[in-house]
Structure formats: structure tokens, C-alpha cells
Amino acid sequence: MSLRSPLSKAVGLGSAKHGFSHWWWQRVSSVALIPLTLWFLYAVICAMSGGYEQAVAWLSSPINATIMLLFVLTSLFHAQTGLQVVIEDYVHTKWVNLTLLLSVKFAAVVMAVLAIISVLKIVLGG
């Protein structure tokens, strides 16, 4: 018979309440991606009807460039958050877990920076 309470046995083993944050932001980003994805599909269909110059002119609009960046950045955030949860849940070796988490975050940041630079280059006419 143990004199420890069930709460003291569970301290450090259960939820630290940080999982809710991942769950919440995953839901928020998925809801945000619904209209952004519909807009992106419409944009791709419109871009297919014209040439390269028309697509560049279309993306040069500040509104279209802003929505494109919102779509790309929200998609990257959603993917990074989802991959983080999968890695934390299923990769149990500490160094592999840390390496994968850092790699996913680094890749998301690099792709976000590249997307911002690419859209700004088109908008600014570079």
C-alpha cells in the first residue's frame, strides 16, 4: 500500500496544459484556411486562363499579394503545428524528436521568408 496520493503519482506524467494550445491553433488555422484555399483555387484557375504577364500583373495588386501571403503563411503555420504534434506523439527518442522538431520549424521559417521575398519582388517590380 502506497501513502502517495493519486495526484502526487500523476505529477509530471499527465497533461501540462500546453497540448490545448496546439489543438486550438490547429483549429483556428484550419478555419482560416477554408476561405483562403477557396480564394487560392480561384486564383489558380484565373491564372491558368492567362499568360505569365497576366499572372504577374494580377499578383502585383496589393490585395491579391496580401491574401496570397496570408494563404502561404497560414498553410505553413498549420503544417508546422500539425507536424509538431505528430512528432511529439510518435517519436520517443529524445535526440530524434528534438532534431525533427527543429528541422520542421527551420524549414517552415525558410519557406515563409522565401514566400515573403518572392511576393514582395513581384509586387515591387523587381
3 state DSSP class of 23: helix
Return the amino acid letter for 33: L
Q: Where are the alpha helices (DSSP H) in the chain?
A: 6-10, 19-49, 52-59, 62-90, 94-123
User: Of 108, 24, 123, 12, which is closest to residue 65 (Cα–Cα)?
Assistant: 123
Note the pLDDT tens digit of each residue in 47-74.
888 888 888 999 999 999 999 999 999 9
Note the pLDDT tens digit of each residue in 7-45.
666 666 555 556 678 889 999 999 999 999 999 999 998
Q: Topology of domain 18-123, per CATH?
A: 3 helical TM bundles of succinate and fumarate reductases (1.20.1300)
Q: Where are the domains of the chain?
A: 18-123
The C-alpha cell of 36 is what?
Answer: 483562403
Task: Tell me the pTM.
Answer: 0.82
- pLDDT band, residue 79 (cuts 50/70/90): very high
